[in-house]
Structure 1
Amino acid sequence: MHLAIFGATGRTGRVVLDQALQSGHQVTALSRNPAMIAQHERLRVVTGDVRDSAPVAQTIEDAHAVVSTLGRQRHGPAICTEGTRTILSAMAAGRPRRLLVLSNYGVAESRHRSLYVAVSWLLERSVLRDKEHMEALVRPSETEWTLVRAPILTNGPRTGRYRTGSDLRLTFTSKVSRADIAEFMLSELEDNAYLRQGVAITS
């Protein structure tokens, strides 16, 4: 499969990119600084900003699916919202249709009345607001989307032992390694078990 990956230089995006290449996928990745991505025979890197339409269109050209692991810094721009708007605009022209997006637990319909969600919003309001606005763009789109709502992410090993579900409730003890969430995201591209759904994940 040919994947277009956005956010490939982020902490989770790097793991997704590495696993995609290890699994034999062809990858095109967008980066403002291509030097941050190691060369690979099945990897093409496009230089540019995810908020600019031309490099985004170039990145998704000929791709079978789009994977976004964009993440906002606490005091940075609303990159998830702005970047996703550009990605959706480029996808509206036709192929590809499949879209997998890394989000956060505690936004949209997963914003339950729980202490875990309340504290998350208290500590990371700008980050979660960006993700919530991003999801509001994705859900009514005509893409074949899946929103992966992550808990606390760790740098632990790939175990293959995690739970997922559209109704899964997360708590303060919920966490998952970036290696496991990358495995799940790539497997979801094949399984399509959560088409047009938000899915939570935890180890």
Structure 2
Amino acid sequence: MRLAVLGATGRAGRVVVDRALQRGHEVSALARDPARIHPRPGLHVVGGDVRDPAAVARALDGAGAVVSTLGRPRRGPDICTDGIRTVLSTMAGGGPRRLVVLSNYGVADSRHRTAYVAVSWLLARAVLRDKERMEALLRDSGTDWTVVRAPVLTDGPRTGRCRAGTDLRLSFTARISRADLAEFMLTELHDTAYVRRSVAVTSPAG
């Protein structure tokens, strides 16, 4: 399958691109700075901003699915909300229907009254608000979306093991490696269990 990967130069996005290529996918990676992506067989780099409809259309051209690892810096534009709005508009015009999106645990219906969630909002309110608005756009869309809500991400190895669930409650010990996150997101492209649902993920010990 040809995948369009958004946020491909971020720490999680780079791992998603690497693993997708290892799994035999072709990857169309959208990047504002194409020079930050190392060229490899099967990888097509599209220069442009995710908020630019023309750039998004080029990245999604011929893709069978979209994976987004967009993330907002603590100070900066609402890149997740604005980017996904552009992507959804492109998909509605005849693009792919399947969309797997990285979000944060602690937003929307996972905003539980726990110390973990309270501290997350204290430290990264703008980031989480951006994710929350992004998720609202997805819920109102006609795409086959899956939102993956992650805890703290690490650079640990790929173990192939994680806990996942729509009602999973995460604590301060919750962690997942970017490698395991990438594996889960790519597996979800072909799974229907969480279509049009939000799922939290963590390592088995989290």
TM-score, structure 1 length as denominator? 0.99
Displacement of 1:95 after TM fit?
2.7
Displacement of 1:198 after TM fit?
0.3
**Amino acid aligned to 2:200:** A
3-state SS of 1:102 partner: strand
User: Aligned residue for 2:167?
Assistant: 167
* Equivalent residues in 2 for 1:46-125, closer than 5 Å: 46-125=46-125
CA RMSD of aligned residues (A): 0.7
Displacement of 1:115 after TM fit?
1.0
User: Aligned residue for 1:152?
Assistant: 152
1:180 is the counterpart of 2:153: no
User: Aligned residue for 1:28?
Assistant: 28
Query: For the residues of structure 1 that align with 2:116 and 2:104, how far apart are their CA atoms?
Result: 12
1:45 is the counterpart of 2:11: no
Please, which moves more after superposition, 184-193 or 126-135? Answer: 184-193
**Amino acid aligned to 1:49:** D
Displacement of 1:192 after TM fit?
2.4
**Amino acid aligned to 2:146:** T
User: Aligned residue for 2:3?
Assistant: 3
Query: For the residues of structure 2 that align with 1:142 and 1:167, how far apart are their CA atoms?
Result: 23
For 1:64-105, what per-residue CA distance to the aligned partner results, in whole angstroms no more than 9, with x for missing partners? 000000001101111001111110110011230000000000
Displacement of 1:190 after TM fit?
1.5
Query: For the residues of structure 1 that align with 2:176 and 2:41, how far apart are their CA atoms?
Result: 30
**Amino acid aligned to 1:138:** L
**Amino acid aligned to 2:138:** V
For 1:88-133, what per-residue CA distance to the aligned partner results, in whole angstroms no more than 9, with x for missing partners? 1100112300000000000011111111111100010000000001
Give structure 2 stretches of 5+ with no counterpart.
none
Identical amino acids, percent of aligned pairs: 68
Query: For the residues of structure 2 that align with 1:41 and 1:184, how far apart are their CA atoms?
Result: 23
**Amino acid aligned to 1:105:** Y
The count of residues paired between Structure 1 and Structure 2 equals 203
3-state SS of 2:171 partner: coil
1:190 is the counterpart of 2:179: no
Query: For the residues of structure 2 that align with 1:11 and 1:27, how far apart are their CA atoms?
Result: 17
Give structure 1 stretches of 5+ with no counterpart.
none
Query: For the residues of structure 2 that align with 1:147 and 1:8, how far apart are their CA atoms?
Result: 17
3-state SS of 2:190 partner: helix
1:126 is the counterpart of 2:126: yes
**Amino acid aligned to 1:149:** R
